[in-house]
Amino acid sequence: MRGVISPVLAISVMLIAAFLGGYLARLLRIPRIVGYILVGSLLRQIASIMYGTEPGWVASLSSLVNGLALGLILFVIGQVFDRQRLKNIRETLPRLSLWEISLTALFASLGCSVAAWSLPGMNLPLSVTIGLLLGMAAIATAPAATLLVLQEYGAKGPTTDHLLGLVGINNLVSIIGFSVVFIVCVSLGWIDSAVLSTASLWLDLLWVCLGSVLVGGILGLVLSWLHSRVPLPEMVLLFFAVIFLLITGDDWLRHNIGMSFNSMAACLVLGGVFANFALNPSRFDSLLDTIGMPVYALFFVLAGYNLHFAELKHLGWLGVVYIVMRSAGKYIGMYRGINKVGQAHILEEKAGLGLLCQAGVAIGLGSYLVDHWDSPIAAQINTVILASVVLYELIGPFLVRYTVIQAGEVKLITLMRPGAMHTDKPTLGMMIRQKIGVTLRGRRRSRKAGRLCARHVMRTNVRFLSTKAKLDDILHFVERSHLNHFPVVDKAGRYKGIIHFHNLSDMVYDPALAHLVDAMDILDRNTPAVTPEITAEKLLNLFHQLNLGTMPVVKNQRSKKLIGIVEQRDLLRAMYQLRQEQDGGSSANYEF
């Protein structure tokens, strides 16, 4: 080995590689984390050529960065369970979760049991054990990849909220379910574990469940109380101290107190408690998004560095069945669940594709199995998980992106590469895209220059009020909406007007009006709708003239078919970004 690279230099190289990978991903209009993963894999190849063997500190650095990144991400996902967001998803999320988890576990367990039964030297108890363990592992969804893709594309809407909620529930159920299956199989004699007794395993599981809720809840309340009393810089220091405490304190508690907890579950509870009890938590979240970026970049570069591409050749029949049945279970489970709960008109029916990312939690379960089951079968199950993670980490981000685009929860301007202004000379990214045919929504579009319009910043997956809605229905709708202006449509989807929040204030105090008033009685017919091609300048003038925060968008002025809304804050953000690019020397016209 020709010298050893220092950890500090390696981190610097990884961050530079992350920058280059992210820039390349932006040129090719693919999820940024895919670029991080690919450059991480490339760094491994370069390191193996230059140094031959892997430095000993790589494993400890990966463990630290993975724990920190997953702690940050699960904290953010836990905030989906705040009271305001739960108003929108509390009725549908539990039922959707039940369908998705049940069918994923059923499909993967049955499929892998049959596949294992067909292997040489396999008996029925062992094949069922393999199937059940892989079925529980199949439930897990990678929180990091899912969350960062949603954040990168600014996804916003009911499908996005449900995906984040399902990610949190999936990982909790997977961790607990895997432990329960392992303990039951040990008690039945199907797994010979010399490490722990059945009684100690059950006690350990109980402590993990209770300890995670207790530790995460207490620390969440403490952070919530301190959030309103200390400046943001000191709050950041305390927050990272808590995250480090959670990802390293498990072993200390186990050896000194006999109590244990799961750091990922505790971070999830921490985020949920903080979101519900902290005063103005969004102030802290915005800062966390910025300072967490280097951690996320290192996380995915290291994920690419540690991807076991060599395991693909050992995937085998069992691995193929696992991938197929897990994918089918996620897709069919969400499809059936969405239709059974009557949300097909609101949620994207293909949302199961957005839950296929799998990495850290599943890898942790495989490692746990190898540590506690001294058998070649444990290594075989771990190989299946590691090999499948390679595919899911590379394909999963594309499917998350596809899901939220199909749901209409991503603005068109977000899909345009920033800086892709019209120039006389085509860029390298343009030439590559022309060669490989990368296009928006899978269809080739002609390239032309144009001005920023409503269609670039509108959101299409938006619920509208019906003209027949009674006051109780309107108030129920308003309670679950983040808007202050609510478009009203007839049964054919034609725009009829807008109900303003202030129009409702005088009526809520008179219960007698609840059965007499409908949406047509209180809507404002004078608020115009705009077409997708109205320019940003004209649209901004309308916002100011009408003093609105939301503008309805119709297909055309003749049909009045309502197709989406534009929020003033989204328009201002897009115009600001455009101005920043103009100041940087680019032309003012977007390529679309």
The CATH number of the domain holding residue 558 is 3.10.580.10
Higher pLDDT, 135 or 420: 135
Would you call 435 helix, strand, or coil by DSSP? helix
pTM confidence score: 0.76
Residues 353, 486, single domain; the answer is no
In a domain, 416, yes or no: no
Q: Is 436 among the domain residues?
A: no
pLDDT tier for residue 507 given thresholds of 50, 70 and 90: low
Same domain, 471 and 345: no
Residues 148 and 206 in one domain: yes
172/274 same-domain check? yes
Q: Which two tokens stand for residue 263?
A: 């750091």
* pLDDT > 50? residue 436: no
pLDDT averaged over every residue in the chain: 80
**pLDDT tops 80 at residue 578:** no
Share of the chain above pLDDT 70, in %: 84
The DSSP call for residue 351 is G
Which of residues 410, 430, 449 is at a domain's end?
410
Give me the CATH number covering residue 396: 1.20.1530.20
Please tell me which residue, 136 or 205, carries the higher pLDDT value: 136
Confidence (pLDDT) at 333: 94
Distances in Å between the alpha carbon of 537 and those of 65, 414, 454, 505, 575? 45, 19, 10, 32, 9
Q: Do 473 and 404 have their domain in common?
A: no
Q: Are residues 276 and 131 in the same domain?
A: yes
Q: At what angle do helices 263-277 and 57-78 cross, to 10 degrees?
A: 30
What pLDDT is attached to residue 56?
A: 67
Question: Residues 2-14: what's their mean pLDDT?
Answer: 76
Q: Is residue 11 assigned to a domain?
A: no
Q: Quick check: helix, strand or coil at residue 460? A: coil
pLDDT tens, 18-70? 999 988 888 888 888 899 999 998 988 888 777 766 666 777 788 888 888 88
Does residue 405 sit in the same domain as residue 467? Answer: no
pLDDT for the residue 503: 67
Residue 340 structural domain: 33-410
pLDDT at 435 over 70: no
Domain boundary among 389, 410, 431: 410
Per DSSP, helices labelled H in 437-534 are 454-457, 471-479, 501-504, 519-522
| pLDDT score, position 198 | 58
Q: Is residue 274 part of a domain?
A: yes
Residue 409 or residue 420, greater confidence: 409
590 strand-pairing partners = 421, 450
The type of residue at 402 is Y
134 and 221, same domain (yes or no):
yes
Confidence of residue 526 (pLDDT cuts 50, 70, 90): confident
For residue 435, being part of any structural domain is answered with: no
Count: domains in the chain: 2
If you average pLDDT over residues 228-242, what whole number do you get?
88
The answer as to whether 345 is a domain residue is yes
Supply the pLDDT for residue 331: 94
Say yes or no: 311 and 225 in one domain.
yes
pLDDT of residue 434: 46
Q: Which of 410, 440, 473 marks a domain boundary?
A: 410
Query: What band does 586 get if pLDDT is binned at 50, 70 and 90?
Result: very low
At residue 441 the predicted structure's pLDDT band, cuts being 50, 70 and 90, is: very low
pLDDT, residue 129, reads 92
Q: Do 388 and 461 belong together in one domain?
A: no
364 or 442, which is more confident: 364
**What is the average pLDDT across 90-115?**
92
- Residue 452: pLDDT band with limits 50, 70, 90: confident
Q: Is residue 22 a part of any domain in this protein?
A: no
Domain membership flag for residue 421: no
Residues 330 and 479 in one domain: no
Q: What is the pLDDT of residue 103?
A: 95
Bridge-based pairing state of the strands 465-466 and 485-489: parallel
pLDDT digits (tens, 9 = 90+) for 319-375: 999 999 999 999 999 999 998 888 777 788 888 999 999 887 888 888 888 877 878
pLDDT, residue 427, reads: 44
- Residues 476 and 331 grouped into a single domain: no
Give 445's pLDDT tier (boundaries 50, 70, 90).
Answer: very low
When comparing pLDDT for 490 and 90, which is higher? 490
CB count in 10 Å sphere of residue 143: 27
- 84 pLDDT exceeds 90? no
